[in-house]
Structure 1
Amino acid sequence: MRKPRDFDAELKALEDKARELKSRKIQQLGELVIATGADALSADELAGALIVLAETKDTGKKEAWAKRGAAFFRGRSRRTTQPTDRDARGIPTQPDSTQPASGGAGAA
């Protein structure tokens, strides 16, 4: 005789997993904001910029942003080989080191 499935327990496990994934996503987005230096913007400025980005239909702009983001992550991965200026999570320990090299926060 087969053991009946406990659908309630399976559903709870899936809900817990979804909650954990959402929490991890929120944490990673926050770390991205800090790593790019966008945490220097006010919440209103950051929200406004993100809304404009999300509403943009111009594929040329989106491709340019994607290339710039990929370059950011490639450059960042090379810098993470120097553990002396980063804490255990890979976040810079010096607050002014999170600023973009160009000095402009919204130069997109």
Structure 2
Amino acid sequence: MMRKPRDFDAELQSLGDKARDLKARKVQQLGELVIATSADALSADELAGALIVLAETTDAGKREAWAKRGAAFFQGRSRRSAPSPDRDAGGAQTQPGSTQSTSGSAGAA
């Protein structure tokens, strides 16, 4: 019995297409996040500067505080979009919500 040879070119093309689709979806989701957080009101220079500070920050306490604030933001959004007020928005969330307001600055390093 002979095996049918694999078409590596077609497999590579398929993987390339999937990678492009994933990248496009990531870019779209990041844009939606910028809009959802009202960060689109910032200039591109301000937004880029803030993101650079965030990416360069190694202070674990600050990063944890930002993560909690982000989780609270998403929990609040999922509760607002839930069809019934008594529906639990937990499910996929792993961190408890925070009582902090989601408006205001996240702080700089």
Q: What TM-score does the superposition give when structure 2 sets the normalisation length?
A: 0.77
Higher relative contact order (CA 8 A, sep 6+): 1
- Secondary structure at the aligned position of 2:58 is classed as coil
1:38 corresponds in structure 2 to 39
- Greater than 4 Å deviation, 4+ residue runs: none
| RMSD (Å), alpha carbons | 1.5
**Equivalent pairs: percent with the same residue?**
80
CA distance in 2, matches of 1:72, 1:21: 24
How many angstroms does 1:80 deviate by?
1.1
**Paired residues, what number?**
89
Alignment of 1:1-108 (within 5 A): 1-81=2-82, 102=103, 104=104, 106-108=105-107
Structure 2, unaligned runs of 5 or more:
84-100
CA distance in 2, matches of 1:48, 1:23: 23
CA distance in 1, matches of 2:44, 2:106: 17
- Secondary structure at the aligned position of 2:9 is classed as helix
How many angstroms does 1:69 deviate by?
0.2
Q: Whose helix proportion is higher, 1 or 2? A: 1
How many angstroms does 1:81 deviate by?
2.3
Structure 1, unaligned runs of 5 or more:
83-99
